[in-house]
Every structure is written in C-alpha cells, then in structure tokens.
Amino acid sequence: MAPLTETLREGLSLWGARAESLDEGVDEAFDERRRRKLVAHGASVAAFALAGAVLFWPVDWVVLDAVARRAFSQWRVVVALLAALYLGLARWSIAPRVMTALLVASLFASTAVAGDAMARAGDPGTPFLHLLYLPLFATITLPFTLGVRAAITIGVALSAAVGYWGLHPAYRGHPAGALWWSVMLSVASLVVWLGHTLFLLARENFAHQRRLSTWNHELELHVAERTAELRALLAHIEGVREDERTRIARELHDELGQELTGLAFVARHTSERFERDPGAIRANLGEIESGLQRTTALVRELVSDLRPRMLDDLGLVAAVEWLARRTEERAGVRCGVRADELGELPSSTRTVAFRVVQESLTNVLKHARATAVTIELRRESRALVLSVADDGVGFDPQRASVTRRGGAGLLGMRERVQSIGGTLSVLRGDSQGTVVRCSLPR
Ligand SMILES: Nc1ncnc2c1ncn2[C@@H]1O[C@H](COP(=O)(O)OP(=O)(O)O)[C@@H](O)[C@H]1O
Ligand SMILES: [Mg+2]
C-alpha cells in the first residue's frame, strides 16, 4: 500500500507540472496553439449558448408565468444575438485577441442581463436567483491560463451580482443573499479548478504528442538510414558475388582448363606411343600423374577459397589457423592464433566467426600496413568471443561507420554477426592499430 503522501503527490503532480518538467519549448508551443484554438473553443461555447437560448424557449411557456417569461425572453434574445454575432465574426480571420475580448465581454453582458432577468422573474426567495451559477460554467472548456481564468470567472460572478443585486437595490439585505454569495464563491472555485485541470491535461497531452512525433521522426530517419545501408550492402554483395564468379571462371579456365588440356594431350600422345613402343610410356605416365596431382591441388585450393572443408571437418580453430598460415605465406605478416578449447559450436557461429576473421585479415592486408596480427578465440559461458588485433596504422571506426563509402566489408560483417544474435565492435588498438571484436552465441 502506497503511503498517503505519495498518493497525494501523484494526484497533485499534474498541478505541479511546471515548464521545466516538460520538454524544452513545449510551453511556448502549447501557448501558441491554445491561442489559435481559443477562437474555435469560443465558437463552440457560442453555438451551445445559441442553441440553449433558442431551443428551450418554448419550455418557458410551460414552466413560467407571464412575468418570468417576459424577463427570460429578453435574456434569451440578448444571448442569441451576442452568440450569433460571435459566430458570424468567427468566420473572418479577425485577431484571436479581439475575438476573445468579444467573447468575454459577451459573457459578462449576457450574465448581467441574466441577473436582471432573474431578478424580474422573482424575488430572492424564488429559485430563479440560483440559476445565476450556470453562466460560470461557460469558461470551463476555454483554454485560459490560471490567472486569466480566475479573473474571468470572478468577472462573471460580479456581472451576475451587478444584474441582480446592483440593478435591484430593493433585494439587498434579503436573507437569501448570504447563501447566494457563498454558493457562488464555491461554484466559482470549483469551475476554476475544473477548468484549470482540463487545461493542464490538455497541455500534458500536447507534450506527449509532441514527444511521440519527435520519436517518430527520429525513428523514420533511423529506418531510412538503415534501409540505405542495407541497400548499399545488397548492391555490394551482388557485386562481390559477380566478381567471385568471374574469378572462379577465370581460374577454372586458365589454370584447370590448361592443365586438363595438357593432360589430354599427354594421354593421347601416350596411347599413340603405346602402339609403337609400349615400354617407353613410363615417363608419360609419370607426367600424367604429376599433372593429376597439380590439378587436384588446384581444385583443393579453389574449393578452400570458397569454403574450407576443414571448417566443417576439423572445426573453427583449425580453419582459423589455416587462414593465419596462408596470410603469413602470402603477405609476410606475422599471424598468431590464441584459442581456447571451443567444444561444439553451432554451424552458423562457426561460419560467421570464420568470415569475420577472413574479412578482418583481408582488411589488415589491404589497409593496415601491419607487421603482426593476433587472433584470439575465447570461450565464455554463453558466447564465443573473437578478436583480431593488428599493429597497423589504425583508423577512426566512428568516421568509417558514418561515411560508409566502400565500407561494405565492416557493414557486412556487422550484419552477419547481428543476424545470428551476436555483436561486433571495431576499436582502436591500445597503442596503435585496430581491433575487431565480436561476440557470438554458442
Ligand atoms: N585493420 C584496419 N586498419 C586500418 N584501416 C582499416 C582497417 N580495417 C578497416 N579499415 C578502414 O575502414 C574502411 C572500411 O573497411 P571495409 O568496410 O572493410 O571496406 P573496404 O575494405 O572495402 O574499404 C577501409 O576503407 C579502411 O579505411
Ligand atoms: Mg574490407
């Protein structure tokens, strides 16, 4: 059970909501809007008053005597005329300030006329006196600030008093007067409280809407940015795939094709020789054998480039060690591998980890001008943590991720890692160089 003070504070928090607790600029923006809305709200009050004055007119013939009816009719005519005037003018773009002044003046005037009418309908002992609380309610829906609202409400109460007690001095000193004033004061306070609560709720609602629309806007920007990134990545992947096909086709044609043509030639030559001199084909067979060995090695290398079988057969550590050795052989960069005993890994984690190491090493060779790289594979309770650290020139990953020109490698890595629920970060090394670190589910 919440303590009473807390409950009270929560209840009163709306009233305590000052400008500071709202987002910056909300107060000004709301002020701007409520001023614009004042004319429209005034129009709804006027329409309501006009309808009330005209539609209930026939009821007077049923419930009132002739004297009261005449007094009420005068009041109805005044209300209807003032309301019609306001509604007529509201269609023109007259300054809101002028329209509001007209509205308030009409309210005061019609309330004073109502006071006079009620006084002529009967003395303070009749119920007509108490109908004068009703005009106070006209201000509830109008979006005034607290001070203005209080002033206008008091103005309405005074207008009623002027119409009733001011124009009819004979009624002063009537015993019902004290009761009327005290109820009038209570109703006025109630109306100010209700009206201001509505005002604060509207302001709070406005602030929420504004915040939502800001978030929405940010979200849209973010989505647009991500979409552009993914589109760029897709284009890049398409390009890479085409390049890869071209490379494989060329290698198949140039290397494998030539080897096979050569082998075919030797085979033909061997069979011709077999007819003539069967004993002399030993050398040819040796040539065929070494040709086949070269072809096999070529095929193995091609296949390894596509997807090293050892990744599936011998596991991630062996495949990473193979990549490291190859990098050392091909580029002369020292390449150390430190790996825990990783145990069984999901196939997706194995593949993604391998590709991250592969792309990172490619980047090291392409951009880093490094002399050494360290690859670490650590086993944590729920993750495989992988890092590739070089001692090269380094770069600002923040800027690379902003421009993303030609940066589809890093972006592609990140997407791959995220697609299986991992995270990837690219950091500056401790002293120099770059560290690519990623954590993958295991
Ligand atoms: N290990 C690294 N050392 C230095 N710069 C790097 C390294 N890795 C990446 N970069 C920088 O980040 C950029 C983005 O890399 P990447 O996304 O792989 O694209 P690409 O390799 O196609 O240029 C590179 O152009 C390079 O400037
Ligand atoms: Mg790259």
CATH code reported for the domain at 309-441? 3.30.565.10
Burial of 375 (0-12, 13-18, 19+ CB in 10 A): buried
Residue 413 pLDDT exceeds 50: yes
Which ligand gives the minimal distance to the CA of 436? 1
pLDDT of 102 > 80? The answer is yes
Rounded CA-CA distance 32/318 in Å is: 69
Q: Which of 340, 318, 317, 346 is nearest to 421 (CA)?
A: 346
Residue that is written with structure tokens 């011998």 in the block:
314
pLDDT in tens, 115-156: 999 999 999 999 999 999 999 999 998 999 999 999 999 999
The proportion of the chain whose per-residue pLDDT surpasses 70, expressed as a percent, equals 96
Q: Which residue has the higher pLDDT, 398 or 273?
A: 273
Ligand nearest 390 Cα, by number?
Answer: 1
Does an H or E element contain 207, and which? helix 176-251
Mean pLDDT of 191-209: 92
Which run of H or E residues covers position 386?
A: strand 383-390
Q: In Å, how far are 118, 241, 259 from 235, measured between CA atoms?
A: 82, 10, 35
> Residue 439: which pLDDT band, with cuts at 50, 70 and 90?
very high
Question: For position 312, what pLDDT does the model report?
Answer: 85
Q: What percentage of the chain carries pLDDT values higher than 90?
A: 58
Q: What pLDDT was estimated at residue 149?
A: 96
Which residue from 64, 176, 65 is spatially nearest to 123, judged by alpha carbons? 176
Q: Which atom of ligand 1 is nearest to the CA of 363?
A: 8
Task: Determine the pLDDT at residue 400.
Answer: 62
pLDDT at 356 over 90: yes
Determine the average pLDDT of the residues in 195-201: 92
Q: Which of 129-138, 255-264, 300-309, 391-400 has the highest mean pLDDT?
A: 129-138
Give yes or no for residue 22 having a pLDDT over 70. no
Nearest CA to ligand 1 atom 26: 367
Q: What is the mean pLDDT of residues 53-69?
A: 92
pLDDT reading at 34 higher than 80:
yes
Q: What's the token pair of residue 304? A: 């390894």
The average confidence (pLDDT) of the chain is 89
Residue 397 Cα to ligand 2 middle (Å):
13
- Which ligand is closest in space to the CA of residue 361? 1
Per-residue three-class SS string for 98-140: HHHHHHHHHHHHHHHHHHHHHHHHCCCCCHHHHHHHHHHHHHC
Reported as a single tens digit per residue, the pLDDT across 265-312 is 988 988 888 888 888 888 888 888 998 999 998 888 888 777 778 888
Q: For residue 32, how many other CB atoms are within 10 A of its CB? A: 10
Res 21 pLDDT > 70: no
Domain ranges of the chain: 24-220, 309-441
CA dihedral 348, 349, 354, 359 (to 10 degrees): 90
Query: Mean of the pLDDT values across residues 197-223?
Result: 92
State in Å: Cα 71 to ligand 2 middle.
91
- For the cut 50, the answer to whether the pLDDT of residue 368 exceeds it is yes
pLDDT band at 83 (very low <50, low <70, confident <90, very high): very high
Which residues crowd ion ligand 2, with CB under 5 Å? 363, 409
Q: How confident is the model at residue 169 (pLDDT cuts 50, 70, 90)?
A: very high
